[in-house]
């Protein structure tokens, strides 16, 4: 496992990033000394934040050199309505979720529909670490080192038919373990969707971990989407099903408030949310607000997907 990191980080932004890097180095060297038989428990014991350590390559193609948000904040300030509508409940309530065994159902316009065990998916894909910004529609943002694989690779594997124009994603529906689902604050299961070219874009990640460890439950274990140029709610958590379709999926948020949450939901400082401006955001941990960038700073990579579209209409 070779992990490389950028060195050009301003000293004011070092703390968490440096600590994390040191922990990874320490883990890599310690693991090298032990036999495969003892690797698993030791690996868990050494994982810096309490989760199982993942093996991955670093992919810094899309990296930002901005400071990482601390592990503590990423895992204690969440939106995950299945576990409560406030930011602090998911960290507590999500621990009740059983994430193993887990399977993903592939349905709709594909040549290879069916259920795949997460274990088998992971055998077929090399994990990468990618540092992405996540911008919530509620005007806060974080920088997170995700571990995952390209959604494009999974899509190619199941061979979509020519009718597949969109993908609909579905979260687990299990009120026995998801206390938030006992109230109808949203229509369950949580649904999200992407256009096929958005789903195939190299930035689009199926994430199984963060900070080098297996995904914390409050962040969407064991498998979630990360689409960094869209508002956070598009990055659906704890996915159990993906359906290939010729119709634009209707997301849970669009259903509950169509004027507020459109299908595209690209981060756009020019288009206000009906109840607030989207021009600025607070990076969690910062005191001052910063300007929100078009497509959350990923315009160079994704603006061409929307060439010719009126993004005020298709918000
Ligand atoms: N299933 C499901 N996925 C979800 C949500 C949710 O309530 N349920 N919230 C979304 C919202 S609004 C945001 S901002 C991000 C938050 O991800 P994080 O808690 O890992 O930072 O998850 C998104 N994915
Ligand atoms: Mo969000």
Which pair of tokens denotes residue 201?
Answer: 């874009």
**Side-chain half-sphere of 258: how many Cα atoms within 13 Å?**
4
Rounded to an integer, what distance in angstroms lies between the CA atom of residue 108 and that of residue 298?
Answer: 30
pLDDT at 65: 85
For residue 33, the enclosing domain spans 11-46
Residues 80 and 27 in one domain: no
In a domain, 1, yes or no: no
Which pair of tokens denotes residue 93?
Answer: 């309530």
SS3 for 157?
helix
Give the Cβ contact number of residue 22 at 10 Å.
Answer: 11
Residue nearest to atom 4 of ligand 1 (CA): 236
Residue nearest to atom 24 of ligand 1 (CA): 236
Residues 212 and 238 in one domain: yes
In a domain, 315, yes or no: no
Q: Is the CB of 170 under 6 A from ligand 1?
A: no
pLDDT at 241: 99
Gap from CA of 231 to ligand 2 centroid (Å): 6
Length of the chain: 315
3-state secondary structure 174-205: CCCCCHHHHCCCCCCCCEEEEEHHHHHCCCCE
Q: What is the mean pLDDT of the chain?
A: 90
pLDDT at 27: 57
Residues 237 and 202 in one domain: yes
Among 137, 192, 233, which residue has the most ligand 1 atoms within 8 Å of its CB, making it the best to mutate? 233
Condensed to tens digits (0 to 9), the pLDDT of residues 164-202 reads 999 999 999 999 999 999 999 999 999 999 999 999 999
The pairing of beta strand 205-210 with beta strand 191-195: unpaired
Q: Is the CB of 83 under 6 A from ligand 1?
A: no
Which residues of the chain fall below pLDDT 70?
Answer: 1-47
8-state DSSP, 135: E
Residues near ion ligand 2 (Cβ under 5 Å): 79, 136-137, 232-233
Q: Which atom of ligand 1 is nearest to the CA of 144?
A: 21
Distant-in-sequence, close-in-space partners of 115: CB < 8 Å, separation ≥ 6: 103, 104, 105, 106
Residues 81 and 195 in one domain: yes
pLDDT at 206: 98
Q: Which atom of ligand 1 is nearest to the CA of 81?
A: 7
Q: Is the CB of 254 under 6 A from ligand 1?
A: no
Give which of 85, 82, 87 is closest to 238, Cα–Cα. Answer: 82
């Amino acid at each position: 496992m070779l992990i490389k990191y950028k060195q050009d980080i301003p000293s004011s932004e070092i703390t968490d990033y440096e600590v994390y890097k040191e922990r990874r180095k320490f883990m890599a060297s310690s693991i090298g000394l032990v036999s495969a038989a003892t690797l698993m428990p030791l690996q868990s014991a050494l994982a810096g934040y309490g989760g199982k350590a993942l093996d991955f390559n670093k992919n810094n193609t899309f990296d930002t050199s901005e400071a990482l948000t601390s592990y503590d904040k990423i895992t204690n300030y969440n939106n995950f309505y299945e576990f409560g509508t406030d930011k602090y409940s998911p960290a507590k309530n999500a621990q009740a979720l059983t994430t193993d065994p887990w399977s993903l159902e592939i349905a709709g316009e594909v040549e290879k529909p069916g259920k795949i065990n997460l274990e088998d998916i992971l055998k077929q894909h090399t994990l990468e670490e990618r540092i992405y910004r996540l911008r919530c529609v509620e005007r806060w943002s974080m920088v997170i080192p995700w571990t995952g694989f390209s959604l494009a690779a999974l899509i190619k594997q199941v061979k979509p038919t020519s009718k597949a124009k969109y993908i609909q994603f579905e979260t687990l529906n299990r009120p026995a373990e998801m206390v938030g689902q006992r109230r109808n604050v949203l229509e369950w299961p949580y649904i999200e969707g992407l256009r096929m070219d958005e789903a195939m874009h190299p930035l689009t990640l199926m994430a199984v971990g963060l900070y080098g460890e297996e995904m914390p439950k409050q962040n969407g274990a064991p498998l979630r989407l990360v689409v960094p140029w869209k508002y956070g709610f598009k990055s659906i958590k704890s996915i159990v099903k993906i359906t290939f379709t010729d119709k634009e999926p209707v997301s849970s948020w669009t259903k509950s408030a169509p004027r507020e949450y459109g299908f595209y939901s690209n981060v756009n400082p020019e288009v206000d949310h009906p109840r607030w401006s989207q021009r600025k955001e607070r990076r969690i941990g910062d005191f001052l607000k910063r300007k929100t960038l078009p497509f959350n700073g990923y315009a160079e990579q994704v603006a061409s997907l929307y060439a010719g579209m009126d993004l005020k209409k298709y918000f």
